[in-house]
Amino acid sequence: MDPGSEVSFEFVPVIRQYRSGRVERLLPVDAVPPSVDAATGVASRDVVFDPATGVWARLYLPARPPDGAGDRLPIMVYLHGGGLVGGSAADAPEHAFLNRLCARARVLGVSVEYRLAPEHPVPACYDDAWAALRWAAEGAEPWLRDRGDRARMFVVGYSAGGNVAHNVALRAGEEADALPRGARVRGLGLLHPYFLSAEKADGEHSWLRGKLEELWPFACGGRTAGLDDPRVNPVADGAPSLRRLGCDRALVCLAEDELRLRGKAYHDGLLGSGWAEGDAELLDSVGEDHQFFLREPPSATALVLLDRLAALLGAGANQH
């Protein structure tokens, strides 16, 4: 057998890497172009915000209300799912979700096409998301300049994107002076976030949980302190206090998946670090799987999730 054809890492149905370095991404991406969405009226376009890396974002702008009011909109930086190794801001289910969410919450969306491991190991994804937040806050791009309100910024992420969102919000707290004057992150939304822990609870011993644990060092290129690395276990001993998150409100969403207990531990960690219950909210979509809101958007539980996110993104509307 050709040594280059030997598999060095495999997580079906997510990714396979060969000893030659060749990577096969097994998660399908149904890439769709930006457009004006017929159902919601939300317009989208792609913009390269970091010419040095080629990293881009898909921007989403809701239609003006019937009265033509030119109100400024909160800015939401969104991070897609895919295990840090797959997914895309252009993927059809994520694109459709952003159209629905931006229309429902009336926010200007910035969905980041961050670089993926293993070609670009962690922390490249964090660096790209942080660069996107700063770029959005600077407001040089016309939609952001003319319609965005950088005093009302939010960071939202799904699955692995939830992990990225947490790390960006933490950096926003630790490096607030690095954001443009007047820019403020108001809230953090985590949808079934990818967090782990070396210590397992009952129900965390499945094959899938084991593969998710293998995925973390793979995504880091081996450069990690393990499953209690604070970047993947924000409530580990020695991790930065969650009071240092650079936002006022948080919504943690759970599903019946392998990440459920870690998401609950994160919410418990928020409360344990001094967050008030009204500022650190929990949405538990009992009986639903990891991707339900992307796969079945008209379902009652998906609509509840959309409404709870819209409520988070509406926070601070009268606070400047």
* Catalytic positions: 159, 257, 290
What phi and psi, each to the nearest 5 degrees, are found at residue 201? Answer: -95, 170
DSSP string computed for 268-294: HHHHHTT--TTTEEEEE-TT--TTHHH
CA dihedral 150, 279, 262, 201 (to 10 degrees): 170
- Alpha helix ranges (H) inside the chain: 92-105, 124-138, 142-147, 160-174, 207-219, 260-272, 292-295, 300-313
Interior CA angle at 14 toward 13 and 19, to 5°? 105
For residue 140, give Cα distances in angstroms to 35, 47, 59, 225. 21, 12, 13, 38
User: What is the distance, to the nearest Å, from the Cα of residue 234 to the centroid of all Cα atoms in its chain?
Assistant: 15
Is the peptide bond prior to 13 cis by the omega test (within 30 degrees of 0)?
yes
Of the candidates 254, 296, 256, 308, the residue with the CA atom closest to the CA atom of residue 96: 296
154 CB-side CA count, 13 A: 30
